[in-house]
Amino acid sequence: MKPVLRDIKIIIINRHRSYREGLHFYLNQQEGFYVPYSASSSQNIIHKIKKHNSQIILVDIEIMKKDYPTSIENFTVPLLDKYPNLKILFHTTTNLPHYNKLSFEAGVKGIVTKNNSLQEISTIIKSVNEGMTFFPTFEHNTLLTDNEIQILKNIGEGKTNKEIAHRLYYSTRTVEHYVTTIFNKFEVSSRLQAVLKGIKLGYISNFPD
Protein backbone atom coordinates (compact mmCIF):
# COMPACT_ATOMS: atom_id res chain seq x y z
CA MET A 1 0.00 0.00 0.00
CA LYS A 2 1.36 3.42 -0.98
CA PRO A 3 0.62 6.53 1.10
CA VAL A 4 -1.06 9.64 -0.22
CA LEU A 5 0.04 13.12 0.76
CA ARG A 6 -2.71 13.70 3.33
CA ASP A 7 -2.18 10.40 5.18
CA ILE A 8 -1.14 10.41 8.83
CA LYS A 9 2.09 8.39 8.93
CA ILE A 10 2.34 6.26 12.06
CA ILE A 11 5.10 4.11 13.52
CA ILE A 12 4.00 1.32 15.88
CA ILE A 13 6.35 -0.08 18.52
CA ASN A 14 4.77 -2.95 20.46
CA ARG A 15 6.09 -6.14 22.02
CA HIS A 16 2.95 -8.16 21.21
CA ARG A 17 3.31 -9.37 17.64
CA SER A 18 -0.34 -10.23 17.03
CA TYR A 19 -1.53 -6.85 18.36
CA ARG A 20 1.16 -4.94 16.48
CA GLU A 21 0.49 -6.65 13.17
CA GLY A 22 -3.28 -6.44 13.64
CA LEU A 23 -3.19 -2.70 14.30
CA HIS A 24 -0.70 -2.19 11.46
CA PHE A 25 -3.02 -3.99 9.03
CA TYR A 26 -6.18 -2.27 10.32
CA LEU A 27 -4.81 1.27 10.06
CA ASN A 28 -3.45 0.66 6.57
CA GLN A 29 -6.98 -0.28 5.49
CA GLN A 30 -8.44 2.98 6.82
CA GLU A 31 -8.57 6.12 4.73
CA GLY A 32 -6.20 8.80 5.97
CA PHE A 33 -3.70 6.49 7.68
CA TYR A 34 -0.44 4.90 6.62
CA VAL A 35 1.83 2.71 8.77
CA PRO A 36 5.23 2.51 7.05
CA TYR A 37 6.98 0.70 9.89
CA SER A 38 6.22 -1.37 12.98
CA ALA A 39 8.58 -3.27 15.28
CA SER A 40 9.07 -4.81 18.71
CA SER A 41 11.94 -2.49 19.67
CA SER A 42 12.51 1.25 19.87
CA GLN A 43 16.09 0.96 18.61
CA ASN A 44 16.98 3.42 15.85
CA ILE A 45 13.61 5.12 16.29
CA ILE A 46 15.00 8.57 15.43
CA HIS A 47 16.31 7.22 12.13
CA LYS A 48 12.99 5.51 11.39
CA ILE A 49 11.00 8.68 12.05
CA LYS A 50 13.21 10.61 9.62
CA LYS A 51 13.19 7.85 7.01
CA HIS A 52 9.40 7.55 6.97
CA ASN A 53 8.57 11.20 7.74
CA SER A 54 6.22 10.00 10.49
CA GLN A 55 3.92 12.35 12.39
CA ILE A 56 2.90 9.94 15.15
CA ILE A 57 4.55 7.09 17.02
CA LEU A 58 2.51 4.66 19.14
CA VAL A 59 4.82 3.06 21.68
CA ASP A 60 4.26 0.21 24.12
CA ILE A 61 4.94 1.61 27.62
CA GLU A 62 6.68 -1.62 28.66
CA ILE A 63 9.17 -1.30 25.79
CA MET A 64 9.79 2.33 26.70
CA LYS A 65 10.38 1.35 30.35
CA LYS A 66 12.78 -1.42 29.31
CA ASP A 67 14.79 0.70 26.86
CA TYR A 68 14.69 3.88 28.98
CA PRO A 69 14.38 2.75 32.63
CA THR A 70 15.46 6.03 34.23
CA SER A 71 12.64 8.31 33.09
CA ILE A 72 10.10 8.94 30.35
CA GLU A 73 11.95 12.15 29.44
CA ASN A 74 15.00 10.12 28.40
CA PHE A 75 12.81 8.70 25.65
CA THR A 76 10.70 11.72 24.71
CA VAL A 77 13.10 14.68 24.96
CA PRO A 78 15.58 13.57 22.25
CA LEU A 79 12.68 12.80 19.90
CA LEU A 80 10.87 16.08 20.49
CA ASP A 81 14.09 18.11 20.32
CA LYS A 82 14.78 16.70 16.87
CA TYR A 83 11.15 16.53 15.70
CA PRO A 84 9.14 19.20 17.60
CA ASN A 85 5.94 18.44 15.68
CA LEU A 86 6.07 14.72 16.43
CA LYS A 87 3.12 13.34 18.41
CA ILE A 88 3.95 10.55 20.87
CA LEU A 89 1.27 8.13 22.06
CA PHE A 90 1.75 5.37 24.62
CA HIS A 91 -0.04 2.04 24.70
CA THR A 92 -0.56 0.01 27.87
CA THR A 93 -2.18 -3.33 28.65
CA THR A 94 -2.26 -2.68 32.40
CA ASN A 95 -3.81 0.03 34.56
CA LEU A 96 -1.09 2.61 35.17
CA PRO A 97 -2.96 5.77 36.19
CA HIS A 98 0.19 7.44 37.53
CA TYR A 99 1.55 7.48 33.98
CA ASN A 100 -1.06 10.06 32.95
CA LYS A 101 0.72 12.92 34.72
CA LEU A 102 4.26 11.68 34.09
CA SER A 103 3.58 11.15 30.39
CA PHE A 104 1.87 14.51 29.92
CA GLU A 105 4.74 16.36 31.59
CA ALA A 106 7.19 14.50 29.33
CA GLY A 107 5.42 15.74 26.21
CA VAL A 108 3.37 12.63 25.43
CA LYS A 109 0.04 13.46 23.78
CA GLY A 110 -2.01 10.52 24.97
CA ILE A 111 -2.34 6.96 26.22
CA VAL A 112 -4.38 4.19 24.63
CA THR A 113 -5.25 1.08 26.61
CA LYS A 114 -6.26 -2.53 26.10
CA ASN A 115 -9.87 -1.37 26.47
CA ASN A 116 -9.71 0.80 23.34
CA SER A 117 -11.01 -0.85 20.18
CA LEU A 118 -9.14 -0.49 16.89
CA GLN A 119 -11.75 2.02 15.75
CA GLU A 120 -11.31 4.03 18.96
CA ILE A 121 -7.53 4.01 18.49
CA SER A 122 -7.89 5.39 14.96
CA THR A 123 -10.14 8.16 16.33
CA ILE A 124 -7.63 8.96 19.09
CA ILE A 125 -4.80 9.13 16.53
CA LYS A 126 -6.81 11.56 14.39
CA SER A 127 -7.61 13.73 17.40
CA VAL A 128 -4.01 13.81 18.60
CA ASN A 129 -2.80 14.62 15.10
CA GLU A 130 -5.17 17.62 15.14
CA GLY A 131 -3.64 18.90 18.37
CA MET A 132 -5.76 17.29 21.08
CA THR A 133 -4.61 15.09 23.96
CA PHE A 134 -6.09 11.85 25.25
CA PHE A 135 -5.42 10.65 28.78
CA PRO A 136 -7.98 8.14 30.05
CA THR A 137 -9.33 8.04 33.57
CA PHE A 138 -8.65 4.56 34.90
CA GLU A 139 -10.89 4.91 37.94
CA HIS A 140 -14.16 6.42 36.79
CA ASN A 141 -15.15 8.76 39.62
CA THR A 142 -15.76 12.45 40.03
CA LEU A 143 -13.71 13.02 43.19
CA LEU A 144 -11.47 16.06 42.67
CA THR A 145 -8.33 16.96 44.59
CA ASP A 146 -8.01 20.36 46.29
CA ASN A 147 -5.83 21.63 43.43
CA GLU A 148 -8.34 20.44 40.83
CA ILE A 149 -11.16 22.19 42.72
CA GLN A 150 -9.15 25.43 42.63
CA ILE A 151 -8.68 25.06 38.89
CA LEU A 152 -12.36 24.28 38.35
CA LYS A 153 -13.48 27.34 40.32
CA ASN A 154 -11.22 29.54 38.22
CA ILE A 155 -12.64 27.99 35.06
CA GLY A 156 -16.07 28.87 36.43
CA GLU A 157 -14.92 32.49 36.70
CA GLY A 158 -14.06 32.46 33.02
CA LYS A 159 -10.29 32.48 33.50
CA THR A 160 -8.01 31.18 30.76
CA ASN A 161 -5.30 28.61 31.47
CA LYS A 162 -2.69 31.38 31.34
CA GLU A 163 -4.64 33.54 33.79
CA ILE A 164 -5.13 30.59 36.15
CA ALA A 165 -1.42 29.78 36.00
CA HIS A 166 -0.54 33.38 36.90
CA ARG A 167 -3.06 33.50 39.76
CA LEU A 168 -2.09 30.16 41.33
CA TYR A 169 1.66 30.33 40.54
CA TYR A 170 1.55 27.26 38.31
CA SER A 171 3.07 26.72 34.89
CA THR A 172 0.60 26.83 32.02
CA ARG A 173 1.38 23.17 31.29
CA THR A 174 0.46 22.21 34.86
CA VAL A 175 -2.87 23.99 34.50
CA GLU A 176 -3.46 22.22 31.19
CA HIS A 177 -2.83 18.90 32.92
CA TYR A 178 -5.31 19.72 35.68
CA VAL A 179 -7.94 20.77 33.15
CA THR A 180 -7.46 17.53 31.20
CA THR A 181 -7.78 15.52 34.42
CA ILE A 182 -10.99 17.32 35.37
CA PHE A 183 -12.42 16.69 31.89
CA ASN A 184 -11.57 12.99 32.16
CA LYS A 185 -13.00 12.60 35.67
CA PHE A 186 -16.20 14.40 34.71
CA GLU A 187 -16.32 12.72 31.30
CA VAL A 188 -16.85 16.05 29.54
CA SER A 189 -15.17 17.72 26.58
CA SER A 190 -15.56 21.45 27.22
CA ARG A 191 -14.99 24.00 29.96
CA LEU A 192 -18.70 24.86 30.07
CA GLN A 193 -19.65 21.21 30.55
CA ALA A 194 -17.06 20.92 33.33
CA VAL A 195 -18.47 23.96 35.12
CA LEU A 196 -22.05 22.72 34.78
CA LYS A 197 -21.08 19.34 36.22
CA GLY A 198 -19.08 21.09 38.95
CA ILE A 199 -22.21 23.02 39.93
CA LYS A 200 -24.28 19.83 39.87
CA LEU A 201 -21.79 18.04 42.14
CA GLY A 202 -21.44 20.97 44.52
CA TYR A 203 -17.86 21.97 43.70
CA ILE A 204 -19.04 25.37 42.45
CA SER A 205 -21.90 27.28 44.05
CA ASN A 206 -23.02 28.90 40.79
CA PHE A 207 -21.82 31.00 37.89
CA PRO A 208 -20.29 34.31 39.00
CA ASP A 209 -22.37 37.45 38.49
Q: Which CATH number covers residue 152?
A: 1.10.10.10
Cβ atoms 13, 42 nearer than 8 A: yes
Whether 58 and 121 share a structural domain = yes
Q: Which amino acid is at 34?
A: Y
Residue 43 domain-assigned?
yes
Angle at 203 between CA 172 and CA 141, to 5 degrees: 85
Say if residues 194 and 188 touch (Cβ distance below 8 Å). Answer: yes
Containing structural domain, residue 39: 8-129
Contact 38, 13 (CB under 8 A): yes
Per-residue exposure over 16-49, b if at least 16 CB sit within 10 Å of its own CB, e if not? eeebbeebbebbeebeebbbbbbbeebeebeebb
Residues with Cβ within 8 Å of 113's Cβ and at least 6 positions away in sequence, in order, are: 91, 92, 93, 95, 136
- Report how far residue 150's alpha carbon sits from residue 118's, in angstroms, rounded to the nearest whole number: 37
* Residue 38: inside a domain: yes
Examine residue 170 and state whether it is found in any structural domain, yes or no: yes
How far apart are the C-alpha atoms of 144 and 198, rounded to whole Å?
10
Count helices and strands in the chain by DSSP H and E runs: 10, 5
76 within domain boundaries: yes
Tell me the pLDDT of the chain (209 aa) as tens digits: 555 556 899 999 999 999 999 999 999 999 999 999 999 999 899 999 999 999 999 999 889 888 887 788 999 999 999 999 999 999 987 655 567 777 888 999 999 987 788 999 999 999 999 988 888 765 445 677 889 989 999 999 999 999 999 999 999 999 999 999 999 988 899 999 999 888 876 677 655 54
Domain closes at, from 129, 157, 179? 129
How many domains are there within the chain?
2
User: What radius of gyration, in Å, describes the C-alpha atoms of the chain?
Assistant: 18
Percent helix, strand, coil in the chain, to 5, is 50, 15, 35
**In this structure, are 99 and 74 located in the same domain?**
yes
Is-contact 110 133, C-beta < 8 A?
yes
Longest dimension (CA), the chain: 58
Q: Indicate whether 107 and 164 sit together in one domain.
A: no
Selection from 195, 165, 201 nearest residue 183 by Cα: 195
Q: What is the model's pLDDT at position 145? A: 81
Q: Which amino acid is at 144?
A: L
